[in-house]
């Protein structure tokens, strides 16, 4: 199972924006990246498309397969944990970056923007491994400026990727 | 691995419509159904959504997880075969109904509407197991009227489901 790191933060702190910048930086360093987004509900497919019609008809699992990618929509009885998702679907990536999942006991990187919130989410959280912020806040973990994507990527690489062997491909 | 049956037919023969009617009929009989749609390319997610942004940023695999379902979009280097898809993603269903895949050596049910095409696709195909048609055509396999979904479901059940044990859940 690849290492899993959660990008956490309060609503509108900038989690997706950070992921959007961190993924290409890690990819440029040669790693294959997986991401997991936690939501309460979603509609992913487009109404009227064949695969959408399959799911609407009551299929438990629907896959769309093309020469370049595969998509899957599958019913679950209870929400999958990060470990379960990583084991089932992410064996072929080097690292999984999750967005949200602040309740799980995975290493967490918090995004905290003092312009948006008064206090960070993970103060005192033993799983917090880094803070990305515009505030001069000290939480006892490495701190990165919002724009210091290379610094953050270097930290992630050193801490979670260098010691693990890359996926053989 | 669950049994795999392909619904095949020429373009616009009514493959999706048949699947859309067959899935609930089999589901009502207590089976859990998976479907696979073959396409040349697809866009499944909605532009601007967080998961879409993850994929656009270069993630190899993106999952969206909610309490009721999971979605996955994964890059592949070569197109997955039906066997590979079934092994990876369909272990928890009783049967996989594929749409298309006329080249693969799986049992095939052809939809042929004489109003739309002059000749069927699978004449002489040794993997053809049934024909669903409005034509009085004899191809040496069981033939069902376009509206005889119960008859077709009964055939699929007898041939592919009764002897196999259902998924334990």
A63 contacts in chain B (CB < 8 Å): 34-37, 85, 89-90
Domain count for chain A: 1
Is the predicted pLDDT of residue B168 greater than 60, yes or no?
Answer: no
Inter-chain CB proximity A92 and B60 less than 8 Å: yes
Q: Measured between alpha carbons, how far is residue B9 from residues A53, B26, B99, B153 in Å?
A: 18, 21, 9, 18
Is residue A120 assigned to a domain?
A: yes
**In this predicted structure, what is the pLDDT of residue A49?**
81
Residues of B in contact with A12 (CB under 8 A): none
User: What part of A 10-39 touches B (C-beta under 8 Å)?
Assistant: 16, 19-21, 23-24, 27, 32-39
- B76 interfaces chain A, CB cutoff of 8 Å: yes
Average pLDDT on B63-76 reads: 94
pLDDT higher than threshold 80 for residue A11: yes
Whether B53 and A92 lie within 8 Å, measured CB to CB: no
Which pLDDT score is estimated for A165? 54
Q: What is the reported pLDDT for B66?
A: 93
Separation between Cα atoms, residue A143 and residue A152, nearest integer Å: 9
Question: Has residue A135 been placed in a domain?
Answer: yes
The span from the CA of B155 to the CA of A60, in Å, is: 21
Tell me, what's the pLDDT at B166?
Answer: 58
Whether B103 is in a domain gets the answer yes
The pLDDT score that the predictor gives to residue B165 is 54
Q: Is residue B20 part of a domain?
A: yes
Q: Which of A70, A93, A103, A169 to mutate to test the interface with B (most CBs of B within 10 A)?
A: A70
Structural domain includes residue B36: yes
Question: Which of B23, B33, B58 is opposite residue A24, by nearest beta carbon?
Answer: B58
Q: Is A59 on the interface with B (CB under 8 A)?
A: yes
**Lowest mean pLDDT segment, chosen from A86-100, B104-118, B153-167:** B153-167
Tell me which of B44, B83, B85, B101 to substitute to probe the interface with A (most A C-beta atoms closer than 10 Å).
B44
If you average pLDDT over residues A13-20, what whole number do you get?
A: 96
**A66 vs B contacts (CB less than 8 Å):** 38-42, 79
Put simply, the answer to whether B37 touches A50 (Cβ < 8 Å) is yes
pLDDT of residue A18: 97
Q: Is residue A82 part of a domain?
A: yes
| Closest CA relative to residue B146, chosen from B126, B132, B160, B158 | B132
- Count of CB atoms within 10 A of residue B113's CB? 17
Place of tokens 């039906």: B82
* Domain extent for A140: 4-40+78-160
The CATH number of whichever domain residue B31 belongs to comes to: 3.40.50.300
In a domain, A51, yes or no: no
pTM metric for this prediction:
0.90
Note whether A61 contacts B19, CB cutoff 8 Å: no
Q: Rg for chain B (alpha carbons), in Å?
A: 18
Tell me the per-residue pLDDT of B8-62, one tens digit each, with 9 for 90 and over: 999 999 999 999 999 999 999 999 999 999 988 887 766 678 888 999 999 999 9
User: What is the band of B164 on the pLDDT scale with cuts at 50, 70, 90?
Assistant: low
The confidence score (pLDDT) of residue A42 equals 80
- Residue B54 forms part of a structural domain: no
Kindly state the tokens that stand for A150. Answer: 């290379």
* Cβ within 8 Å of A, B 99-128: 99
What pLDDT digit, counting tens, does each position of A98-125 carry?
A: 998 989 999 999 999 999 999 999 989 9
């Amino acid at each position: 199972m690849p290492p899993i790191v959660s990008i956490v933060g309060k609503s509108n702190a900038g989690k997706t924006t950070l992921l959007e910048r961190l993924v290409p930086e890690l990819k440029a360093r040669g790693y294959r990246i997986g991401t997991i987004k936690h939501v309460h509900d979603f509609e992913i497919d487009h109404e009227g498309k064949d695969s959408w019609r399959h799911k609407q008809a009551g299929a438990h699992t629907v896959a769309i397969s093309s020469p370049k990618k595969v998509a899957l929509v599958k019913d679950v009885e209870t929400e999958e944990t990060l470990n379960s998702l990583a084991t089932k679907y992410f064996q072929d990536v080097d690292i999984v970056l999750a967005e949200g999942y602040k309740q799980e006991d995975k290493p967490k990187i918090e995004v905290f923007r003092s312009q948006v919130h008064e206090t960070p989410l993970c103060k005192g959280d033993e799983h917090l491994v880094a803070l990305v912020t515009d505030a001069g806040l000290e939480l006892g973990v490495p701190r990165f400026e919002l724009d210091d994507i290379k610094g953050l990527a270097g930290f992630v690489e050193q801490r979670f990727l260098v010691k693990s062997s890359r996926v053989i491909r």
